[in-house]
C-alpha cells in the first residue's frame, strides 16, 4: 500500500511539472530541454529554506516556485526577444540545465554532489492532490484568459498573432515564467517527499522525460500530457520492471504512441470533450 | 464621414531592399479618410511588401509611413495594430486549429484590461468579461455571415470563408485603416461580387478606411477610388478607375507583364 501510495504521489508531482511544460510547449509552441532545471531550483530553494531556516512548508513551497520563476526570467529575457527564432532560448536553457548541476555540485549549502539528505517529509498525498487540482484549475483559467489566448495564437502563427495585437516577447516570457513556477512547485513537493535531493535528479534526462510526456500526451492539451505523465511514472513501477529495463519500457511506450497516435494521446483536444456531443461534420477545405 | 485636409495615412519615399532586390523603390502615396483605395500592379511589383512595412513586419530601408501625421515606420506590429491599422494576409494566416470564435476573440481580448490574478482564479468578473467578449466575437462573425461556423476549426472552412474570417479578426482590433491583401484571391466571379458588396458594407458599418490589393480588375474598378498602380516597386499611376484604365503606362505594364509570363 505504501508502495502504491508513493508511486501515486510521485506521479502527481511529475504531473505538476508536465502541466507547466505543456503550457510552454503544448500551448505556446516553444520547446525546452531544460525545464527539469526549474524543478531543481524549486526543490533546492524550498529544501534549503525548511532545512536550514525552518521556514514553514507552504512558504518554502511558494518560495521555491517563485525562485524558479525568477530564474526563468533571467534566461528568458535575453533569449526570447528574437522574433521568429526560438532556438536561442532552446540552446540557452539546455546550457542552463548543465550549469545548474555544476553550481549545485559546488556549493556548500547544497551539500554538493552528495546531495541534501534529511529534508522533512511534509509532502503527503492530500497536499499533492490539492496542488495538482489547483494547478489544473489555474492552468485552465490561464488558457482561457487574455494571456492564454495570446499564447495559443503565437503557437498557431506568431505573425498573425502580432497583427491581432499580441505582444510577442511579453507573452512568450509570461508563458515561460508560468511554466517555470509550476516546475518549481513540483520540485518543492518532490524534495519534501523524497527527503533527499541530489543535483543529478534535475538534468537533461529528466528534462527529456518532461518533454516526452508533453509530446506523447499531445500538444495543446492539458489532460493528454497528464495522462502520459502518469503512465510514464506508474506503468514501469506497476509492471515491476527492473531498473535497467525501465528506460527500455519507457522508450517502447513512446514508440508505440508515435506509431499509433502521432498527434499524441490527446493532441489539441481534452478528455472532457470525449463526453460531449460530437460536432457537425466539418466542411472540407477546398484546394 | 468627414474628409480631413490631412490624409489619414500616407507613405513617403518608401524603399525596401532584399539583398540587392529593390522590392519597393521610393514609393509614395496617400490614403484619404473614408476611401476605399486600391493598389494594383503585376506580380512581384512590391504590393505585399508595402503592407508588410506598413504593419511593422519589415523595417523599411528608408522612407516614412505616416498615420494620422505620426511616423510609425519601424514600430512593433502590435503597437501599430493598437494605433488602428489592421490587415489580412495574401497567404491566409489564421489560427488554424482554433475555432472561428477563438480566432476573433484573440484580438478582442488583447484590447481589454484584465487582472492577471482574477483571470487565473476565474473570478466572476473575469468570467463575465469572457462571456461578453464571446458575444462580441459572435456579433462580428454575424456581420461577415460566419455565425454558422462559429465553433468550427478555422482551417476546416472553405477558402473563401477563411478570407472572410481574416477580415472579421482584423475588424476585431477596431481599426481605423484596414489593409486587405487580395481578399478575392481564389474566388469565382459571383463570390467576388458579393465580397465587393461586403467590403463596401464593412466600410460603412465599421467606419474604416480601406486599402486593398487585388488582381480582380472588376472588383477594383467597381469599389475602389482612387487606384494606385505599382510596377517594379515604384508608383506608376494614381487616379480614378477611368483615369487608370486609360493610362498608357498602365496598359503597357500589364500587357508587357502578360507577355513576359507567357
Ligand atoms: N522576405 C523576402 N525576401 C526576399 N525577397 C522578397 C521578400 N519578400 C518579397 N520579396 C521580393 O520582393 C518583390 C516584391 O514582392 P511582393 O510580394 O511585395 O510582390 P506583390 O506585388 O505582392 O506580388 P503578388 O501580386 O504576386 O502578390 C518580389 O521580387 C519578391 O520576390
Ligand atoms: Mg502580394
The domain limits of chain A are 2-203
Q: Indicate the angle between helix axes A57-79 and A168-194, nearest 10 degrees.
A: 140
User: Could you tell me the distance, in angstroms and rounded to a whole number, from the CA of residue B181 to the centre of ligand 2?
Assistant: 7
B10 lines ligand 1 (CB under 6 A): no
Q: Which residues of chain B have pLDDT under 70?
A: 1-5, 255-262
Q: Residue B79: its pLDDT value, please?
A: 96
| C-alpha torsion B217→B223→B224→B229, nearest 10 | 0
**Range list of H helices, chain A:** 2-21, 35-53, 57-79, 87-106, 125-144, 146-156, 158-163, 168-194, 204-217, 223-238, 243-260, 271-274
Q: Does residue A162 sit in helix, strand or coil?
A: helix
Which domains are seen in chain B, by residue range?
1-84+175-262 (3.40.50.300), 95-174 (no CATH)
Best residue among B49, B61, B90 to mutate for probing ligand 1's pocket (most ligand atoms within 8 Å of CB) is B49
Predicted pLDDT of residue A274: 67
Closest residue in B to A165 (Cα) is B78
Burial (0-12, 13-18, 19+ Cβ within 10 Å), A174:
buried
Tell me if residue B14 falls in helix, strand or coil.
strand
Predicted pLDDT of residue A86: 73
B194-201's contacts with Cβ under 8 Å and 24+ in sequence apart are B195/B160, B195/B163, B195/B164, B195/B219, B196/B222, B196/B223, B198/B144, B198/B145, B198/B164, B198/B167, B199/B36, B199/B223, B200/B36
Q: Has the ipTM of the complex gone over 0.90?
A: yes
Distance from CA of A103 to the nearest CA of B (A): 34
Q: What is the pLDDT of residue A285?
A: 41
Ion ligand 2 nearby residues (CB, 5 A): B 48, 90
pLDDT at B5: 61
| Residue A273 pLDDT | 72
Locate the chain A residue with the closest alpha carbon to B134.
A144
Q: Say what the pLDDT of residue B255 is.
A: 66
Q: What is the pLDDT of residue A260?
A: 77
pTM reported for the whole predicted model: 0.92
Give dist(CA A45, CA A51) in Å, integer.
10
- Map grid coordinates 507567357 to a residue: B262
Please list the ranges in chain A whose pLDDT falls under 50.
277-287
Question: By the CB < 8 Å criterion, does B87 face chain A?
Answer: yes
Q: Does B228 touch chain A (CB under 8 A)?
A: no
Characterize the bridge pairing of strands B85-87 and B70-71: unpaired
- Ligand 1 centroid to Cα of residue B49, in Å, is 6
Amino acid at each position: 500500500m505504501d508502495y502504491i501510495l508513493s508511486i501515486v504521489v510521485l506521479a502527481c508531482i511529475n504531473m505538476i511539472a508536465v502541466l507547466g511544460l505543456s503550457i510552454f510547449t503544448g500551448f505556446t509552441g516553444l520547446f525546452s530541454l531544460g525545464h527539469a532545471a526549474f524543478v531543481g531550483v524549486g526543490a533546492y530553494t524550498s529544501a534549503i529554506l525548511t532545512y536550514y531556516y525552518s521556514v514553514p512548508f507552504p512558504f518554502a513551497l511558494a518560495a521555491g516556485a517563485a525562485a524558479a520563476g525568477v530564474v526563468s526570467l533571467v534566461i528568458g529575457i535575453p533569449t526570447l526577444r528574437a522574433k521568429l527564432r526560438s532556438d536561442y532560448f532552446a540552446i540557452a536553457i539546455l546550457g542552463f540545465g548543465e550549469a545548474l548541476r555544476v553550481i549545485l555540485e559546488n556549493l556548500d549549502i547544497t551539500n554538493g554532489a552528495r546531495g541534501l539528505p534529511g529534508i522533512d517529509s511534509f509532502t503527503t498525498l492530500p497536499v499533492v492532490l490539492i496542488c495538482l487540482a489547483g494547478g489544473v484549475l489555474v492552468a485552465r483559467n490561464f488558457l482561457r484568459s487574455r494571456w492564454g489566448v495570446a499564447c495559443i495564437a503565437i503557437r498557431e502563427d506568431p505573425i498573425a498573432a502580432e497583427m491581432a495585437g499580441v505582444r510577442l516577447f511579453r507573452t512568450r516570457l509570461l508563458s515561460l515564467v508560468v511554466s517555470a513556477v509550476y516546475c518549481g512547485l513540483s520540485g518543492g513537493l518532490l524534495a519534501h517527499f523524497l527527503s533527499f535531493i541530489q543535483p543529478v535528479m534535475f538534468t537533461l534526462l529528466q528534462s527529456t522525460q518532461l518533454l516526452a510526456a508533453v509530446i506523447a500526451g499531445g500538444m495543446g492539451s492539458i489532460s493528454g500530457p497528464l495522462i502520459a505523465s502518469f503512465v510514464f511514472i506508474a506503468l514501469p513501477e506497476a509492471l515491476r520492471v527492473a531498473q535497467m529495463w525501465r528506460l527500455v519500457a519507457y522508450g517502447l511506450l513512446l514508440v508505440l504512441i508515435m506509431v499509433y497516435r502521432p498527434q499524441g494521446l490527446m493532441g489539441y483536444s481534452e478528455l472532457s470533450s470525449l463526453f460531449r456531443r460530437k460536432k457537425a461534420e466539418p466542411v472540407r477545405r477546398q484546394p | 464621414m468627414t474628409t480631413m485636409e490631412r490624409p489619414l495615412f500616407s507613405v513617403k519615399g518608401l524603399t525596401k531592399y532584399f539583398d540587392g532586390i529593390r522590392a519597393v523603390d521610393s514609393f509614395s502615396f496617400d490614403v484619404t479618410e473614408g476611401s476605399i483605395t486600391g493598389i494594383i500592379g503585376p506580380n512581384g511589383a512590391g504590393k505585399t511588401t508595402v503592407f508588410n512595412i506598413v504593419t511593422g513586419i519589415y523595417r523599411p530601408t528608408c522612407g516614412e509611413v505616416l498615420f494620422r501625421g505620426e511616423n510609425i515606420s519601424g514600430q512593433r506590429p502590435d503597437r501599430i495594430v493598437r494605433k488602428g491599422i489592421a490587415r489580412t494576409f495574401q497567404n491566409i494566416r489564421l489560427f488554424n486549429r482554433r475555432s472561428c470564435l477563438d480566432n476573433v476573440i484573440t484580438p478582442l481580448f488583447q484590447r481589454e484590461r484584465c487582472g492577471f490574478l482574477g483571470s487565473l482564479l476565474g473570478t466572476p468578473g473575469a468570467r463575465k468579461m469572457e462571456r461578453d467578449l464571446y458575444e462580441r466575437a459572435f456579433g462580428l462573425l454575424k456581420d461577415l455571415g460566419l455565425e454558422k461556423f462559429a465553433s468550427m476549426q478555422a482551417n476546416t472552412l472553405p477558402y473563401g470563408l477563411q478570407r472572410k474570417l481574416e477580415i472579421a479578426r482584423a475588424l476585431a482590433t477596431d481599426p481605423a485603416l484596414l489593409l486587405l491583401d487580395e481578399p478575392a484571391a481564389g474566388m469565382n466571379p459571383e463570390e467576388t461580387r458579393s465580397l465587393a458588396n461586403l467590403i463596401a458594407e464593412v466600410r460603412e458599418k465599421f467606419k474604416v478606411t480601406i486599402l486593398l490589393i487585388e488582381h480582380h480588375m472588376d472588383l477594383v474598378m467597381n469599389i475602389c477610388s482612387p487606384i494606385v498602380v505599382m510596377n517594379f516597386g515604384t508608383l506608376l499611376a494614381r487616379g480614378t478607375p477611368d483615369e487608370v484604365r486609360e493610362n498608357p503606362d498602365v496598359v503597357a505594364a500589364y500587357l508587357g507583364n502578360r507577355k513576359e509570363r507567357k
